[in-house]
């Protein structure tokens, strides 16, 4: 297993639309495992392949307290949605930023699991929010897209500034 680099907003690669997985091979499973490791290390609860610069339709989640109940969704599709809910969302690609986003309250999802077996799942509350947030990533969308242009530009500027700071630190350390 290895850790992957998480793309940071506003990296243009976060805008790519992911392609369906045609076959769940060992390398797809390996990527799922690496994504889970990367997500756990970053203390996240969800990660889409897009965020680690792999543009296939796969996402991983783990909402359990002990972080020992990994879920893998390959080619996920929302086949039913009902109601609305507002929840404070954050994202490993937009660290430190949280904002309310309106999502469907309950959804029914169809996907393939890590073994390539088809399953359907009814989700509500946080699980429903996470699945919708991660599927957005696969479509090249980030949660800040739901905010006002002003708020989005503020976040963008902050992220770019943070990045310059990190790069400067890296240079200083390598001198």
Give the Cα separation of 76 and 94 in Å (integer): 23
Peptide bond into 10 cis (omega under 30): yes
* Rounded least distance, CB 89 to Ni ion, Å: 8
DSSP 8-class letter at 6:
P
* Rounded least distance, CB 137 to Ni ion, Å: 6
Which one, 40 or 116, has the nearer CB to Ni ion?
Answer: 40
Which one, 61 or 91, has the nearer CB to Ni ion?
Answer: 91
Which one, 56 or 116, has the nearer CB to Ni ion?
Answer: 56
> In the annotation, is 125 catalytic?
no
* Rounded least distance, CB 87 to Ni ion, Å: 13
Residue 67, token pair as written in the block: 């972080």
The SS3 of residue 3 is: coil
- Among the listed residues 53, 50, 69, the one whose alpha carbon sits nearest the alpha carbon of residue 61: 69
Q: With binding defined as CB under 5 A, does residue 39 bind Ni ion? A: no
Binding to Ni ion in span 41-100, by CB under 5 A: 91
Residue 120, token pair as written in the block: 């359907």
* Rounded least distance, CB 93 to Ni ion, Å: 5
Give the count of beta carbons closer than 10 Å to the beta carbon of residue 38: 21
Which one, 25 or 100, has the nearer CB to Ni ion?
Answer: 100
Let me know how long the chain is. Answer: 175
Spot the catalytic one: 102, 105, 117, 134. 134
Ranked by CB distance to Ni ion, the top (closest) residue is 91
Give the Cα separation of 119 and 139 in Å (integer): 21
Give the Cα separation of 26 and 8 in Å (integer): 27
- Number of residues counted as binding Ni ion (CB under 5 A): 1
Q: Which residues are catalytic?
A: 134
Binding site for Ni ion (CB under 5 A): 91
């Amino acid at each position: 297993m290895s850790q992957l680099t998480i793309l940071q907003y506003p990296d243009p690669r976060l805008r790519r639309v992911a392609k369906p997985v045609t076959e769940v091979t060992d390398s797809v499973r390996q990527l799922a495992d690496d994504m889970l490791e990367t997500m756990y290390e970053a203390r996240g609860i969800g990660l889409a392949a897009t965020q680690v610069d792999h543009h296939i339709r796969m996402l991983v989640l783990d909402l359990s307290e002990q972080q020992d109940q990994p879920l893998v969704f390959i080619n996920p599709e929302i086949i039913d949605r009902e109601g609305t809910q507002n929840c404070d969302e954050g994202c490993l690609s937009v660290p430190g930023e949280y904002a309310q986003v309106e999502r469907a309250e309950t959804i029914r999802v169809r996907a393939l699991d890590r073994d390539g077996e088809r399953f359907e799942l009814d989700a509500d509350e946080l699980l429903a929010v996470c699945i919708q947030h991660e599927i957005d990533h696969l479509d090249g969308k980030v949660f800040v897209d739901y905010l006002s242009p002003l708020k989005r530009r503020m976040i963008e500027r902050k992220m770019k500034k943070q990045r310059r700071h990190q790069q400067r630190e890296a240079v200083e350390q390598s001198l």
